[in-house]
Amino acid sequence: MGAVVQQLGITDCVFVGWSLGGHLMLESFQREEVFRQAAKAVVIHGTPPITTVSDVLAGFIWTDPAQQYFSQAVVTEPEATVAVTAFFRPRVAEHPGPYAPIIAEWTQQFLATDGVARYIVNHNPFGDEVNTVESLLAQSSTPIAIFHGREDRLINASYIEGLVPHIPTLWESSIHYVESAGHAPFWERPGVYNELLDSFVDTVFDW
């Protein structure tokens, strides 16, 4: 991310990361001075900050059958559909209704991802850093916001709640839940999500 930020000349930026993208934001924040300089704030959602194997076990809901497909190199279209459906509220799996078109579109995105990349990302969750994500968040002076879909099937919200006291720059000292949304609240509740993001960005930029 640092190289991307540098080449594009990005400054005064709020970085918003969803799930894997959130992990990448945290990772870049930890490792790259260029990224830290450009970051006015960081927003993560669907992202349990993790450092150890026990964090991984606690941060994700492994009982959901869709989890296996996010680290599987070769997936069939039905498997990709199961994975993508898990981005949304649990009821969507039984009653796709108006979600059907977006599930179909995102399934094609899923199938258009290099299976090797998917495998590697999820089998190499730890770098060689000595600082834990917890210590990073505890020492950071950069504002951080955590949004979370109330009905997220894939991420254990109580694990993230446990980190809240250790993040001094966390916006309003709490996780901001988006009701009636799963792992992808920016799509399921875009109006609510955008207003939430807008509120946070307003405080950051002090318009």
Partner 1 sequence: MKLFVGVLLLAVFVFNAVSSHGQVSFPNGYILTTKIHLDITLDQYEVVSVNLGDTIVKVYHNRQIFPEHHKRGSIFFAHGNSASHKVWEHQLTDESFNRRFNLYAVDFPGHVCPSSSANPSISNPCKSGCFYLLYRSKLQIHCCWLCGLYGSCSSAVGHH
Return the residues of window 167-186 that contact partner 1 according to CB under 8 A: 180, 183-184, 186
Kindly state whether residue 149 participates in binding partner 1, applying the rule CB under 8 A: no
Question: For partner 1, which residue of 98, 130, 141, 158 counts as binding (CB under 8 A)?
Answer: 98
**Binding residue (CB under 8 A) for partner 1 from 82, 92, 133, 137:** 92
Nearer to partner 1, 122 or 169 (CB): 122
Q: In the bound complex, what is the minimum distance in angstroms from residue 37's beta carbon to partner 1? A: 13
Q: Write phi, then psi, for 5 (nearest 5 degrees).
A: -60, -45
Question: Residue 50 or residue 170: which is nearer to partner 1 going by CB?
Answer: 50
Alpha-carbon 92 to chain mean position: 20
Distance, CA of 202 to CA of 207 (rounded, Å): 6
Q: What is the 3-state secondary structure (H, E, C) of the chain?
A: CHHHHHHHCCCCEEEEEECHHHHHHHHHHHHCHHHHHHEEEEEEECCCCCCCHHHHHHHECCCCHHHHHHHCCCCCHHHHHHHHHCCCCHHHHHCCHHHHHHHHHHHHHHHCCCHHHHHHHHHCCCCCCCCCHHHHHHHCCCCEEEEEECCCCCECHHHHHHHHHHCCCEHHHCCEEECCCCCCHHHHCHHHHHHHHHHHHHHHHCC
- Which CB atom, from 62 or from 126, has the smaller least distance to partner 1? 126
Q: Of 116, 131, 139, 168, which one interacts with partner 1 (CB under 8 A)?
A: 116
Q: Is 56 in the site for partner 1 (CB under 8 A)?
A: no
Nearer to partner 1, 87 or 163 (CB): 87
74 is an interface residue for partner 1 by CB under 8 A: yes
For partner 1, which is the closer residue by CB, 8 or 164?
A: 8
Q: Does 101 bind partner 1 (CB under 8 A)?
A: no
| Options 53-61, 106-114, 136-144, 162-170: segment touching partner 1 (CB under 8 A) | 106-114
Q: Which one of residues 37, 139, 174, 194 is an interface residue with partner 1 (CB under 8 A)? A: 194
**Closest residue by Cα to residue 46 from 28, 60, 32, 64:** 60
Minimal distance in Å, beta carbon 179 to partner 1?
Answer: 9
Q: Binding to partner 1 (CB under 8 A): which residues in 125-144? A: 126-128
